[in-house]
Amino acid sequence: MDKADDNIIPDDFSDSQDIPPESKFSKIIKKSSIVIISLVMVFLIISYVLPRYSIFRIIAGQLNSYEVDDNVIILKNNQKIIFENNTYDELLGIYLDNQEHEFKACLIGNKQDNNYHVEKIEIPKIFSQTFSSVSAEPCEQDAIISLHSHPFKSCFLSVHDVRGYRFVRDINEDAIIGIMCESNRFNFYGYG
């Protein structure tokens, strides 16, 4: 045989005989994988391009925060924060009036049956306010929630917030701290 005969493929050999046809399920899995990988890549690129605040922190903050429903916030352990005497409407007004900077508020009330009843709101003396910080006098002993705002959708408590909890607890052992990060969204620390 000459060398040219070694490169000849026999007529009875066919790629389609050795490889079974692809099933519909396999095609769907491949297409779904491509779509999912593409979406993840787009999500990662967008989160990298967004200025200053990571979309991951926004999503995580949304998942770990609480919404007001009919003047009541239900915490993860089924404790409730109950806004009485139109205090939520008053707090909402304060929040809307302070969009350009953070504010601090002392939510006055009591703790009954493991629930926090907010009866009144007091604004302490504010020393300084910026878009992302507030410095103010501590709340009085009758405050059950020491609350301040955070920039829009920034629902995570900062390290400074958590450290401040110790001082709040020294004044009132039933008190908790909270942040208001949207007009109807809050996060809290120290309950339980």
pLDDT of the residue at 110? 95
- Percent helix, strand and coil across the chain, each to the nearest 5: 35, 30, 35
For residue 131 the two structure tokens come to: 């878009």
7-29: pLDDT as tens digits? 565 555 555 556 677 788 888 99
| Cα 132 from Cα 150, distance rounded (Å) | 6
Instruction: Indicate the burial class of 32 (C-beta count within 10 angstroms; 0-12, 13-18, 19 or more).
Output: exposed
E strand or H helix that includes residue 42: helix 24-49
| Cα 186 from Cα 61, distance rounded (Å) | 10
Neighbours of 168 (CB within 10 A): 22
CATH placement of domain 1-192: 3.40.140.10
116-163: pLDDT as tens digits? 999 999 999 999 888 888 888 999 999 999 999 998 888 888 888 888
- DSSP tag of 156: S
| Cα 71 from Cα 184, distance rounded (Å) | 10
pLDDT of the residue at 8? 60
| Cα 66 from Cα 147, distance rounded (Å) | 14
26-79: pLDDT as tens digits? 889 999 999 999 999 988 887 666 655 566 677 777 788 999 999 999 999 999
pLDDT of the residue at 67? 95
